[in-house]
Amino acid sequence: MAAETTKVVPLTCHGHSRPVTHINFSPVVDDDQYYLISACKDNNPMLRDGVTGDWIGTFLGHKGAVWQARLSTDATLAATGSADFSAHVWDTSTGETLYSLPHAHIVRSVAFPPQAAQQIIATGGAERKLRIWDLSRAGTQTPDAGATPAALAPSYEIGAGAHGGTIKSIVWSPNSHVLITAAEDKKMRWWDLRAPTPIADYTLDGPVGSCELDPLALTGGSANGTLSVAAGKSVYFFDVDRPAAVLKQITTPYEIASVALHGGQRKFVTGQAGDTWVRVWDYDSEQETEIGKGHHGPIWACAFAPDGKLYATGSEDGTIKLWKFTSGPYGLWR
């Protein structure tokens, strides 16, 4: 099905002026609607309609490259991590900064818990510290234009001294007290918020490129999704419900920068550091089935939409592309 339909011309989303470093879809929030947020080295994360790619707004306030951006489960909040030594939490309706979280070094990763009602956020980066921030302990931002973001109570750290390199990604498991970190020391670690040390770890064959939780679970796999990791020339798929449980490792001829899995169709897509093409692979045969051309730089980020009917890629060329992954009309492919 996918090989027949993804060869249509992708939708190109312009607006960024520098490389796109990360993209993240929200879950479906109402009436089949979902959203897409992008992080970029131009300092300005953007919010888009996930179905059409239409620009909704730009979050203004960071003074350095934005490395990662994520939406909360209900898409009412956005979180970003930046080279300006801060993470911000934003109101997606107004674009205002609700909280500014100060750090001592570059923030590379942010994560929301799976329950929208929880007012907490996790951050990590070049400090090599996994931090948990309790937003409910902060003061309330005044509604006046140009108001200063709320001051926060101190955060607390999980696993002090455990990380041997920059924390490049944090995934908050559907089991709300478990977090997963991927760091530049080639280690993945599973953390229980109730314990001071990792409950499991796994050593990758190469430096981590991306680490994301795919919402579309593999048939016969975990009901809560699959953890997809790009590292060196390999892609890894982990059962998110079982710490360090590898479902499959696939070694490729390419330096893989990003990976995303469609569990229902048992296919995954990759972006490479050494070329400008997005590749579609069969999970079971481990073979390439299709190549998507259109970007003019390496593809640093890719993600499937929550309904699996399209996937998005973010590139060094400063553009985001949406690629159709279903038969029949969908979104702007009508």
More confident residue, 195 or 308: 308
Q: How far apart are CA 288 and CA 16, in angstroms?
A: 30
pTM here is 0.92
pLDDT tens column, 55-74: 999 999 999 999 999 999 99
pLDDT of 203 strictly over 50:
yes
Neighbours of 203 (CB within 10 A): 10
Average pLDDT rounded to a whole number, residues 269-291: 96
**How does the average pLDDT of the chain come out, rounded?**
91
Band (pLDDT 50/70/90 cuts) for residue 234 is very high
pLDDT tens column, 117-164: 788 999 999 999 999 999 888 764 433 334 455 555 457 899 999 999
What letter represents residue 273's amino acid? Answer: A
Q: Which of 130-134, 163-167, 330-334 has the lowest mean pLDDT?
A: 330-334
User: In Å, how far are 113, 193, 198, 295 from 164, measured between CA atoms?
Assistant: 24, 20, 13, 34
Please give the DSSP secondary-structure letter assigned to residue 3.
Answer: H
Residue with token string 């690629």:
323
Given a contact cutoff of 8 angstroms between Cβ atoms, the answer to whether 312 and 305 are in contact is yes
Phi, psi of 116 (to 5 degrees): -65, -30
The predicted pLDDT at position 118 comes to 81
pLDDT of 35 strictly over 80:
yes
What letter represents residue 22's amino acid? Answer: H
Give exposure, 69-88, as e/b (b: 16+ Cβ within 10 Å).
bbbbbebebbbbbbbbbbbb
Given a contact cutoff of 8 angstroms between Cβ atoms, the answer to whether 287 and 278 are in contact is no
Please give the DSSP secondary-structure letter assigned to residue 33.
Answer: B
Average pLDDT rounded to a whole number, residues 195-202: 90
pLDDT of 246 strictly over 90:
yes
Q: Which domains does the chain have, with CATH numbers?
A: 2-324 (2.130.10.10)
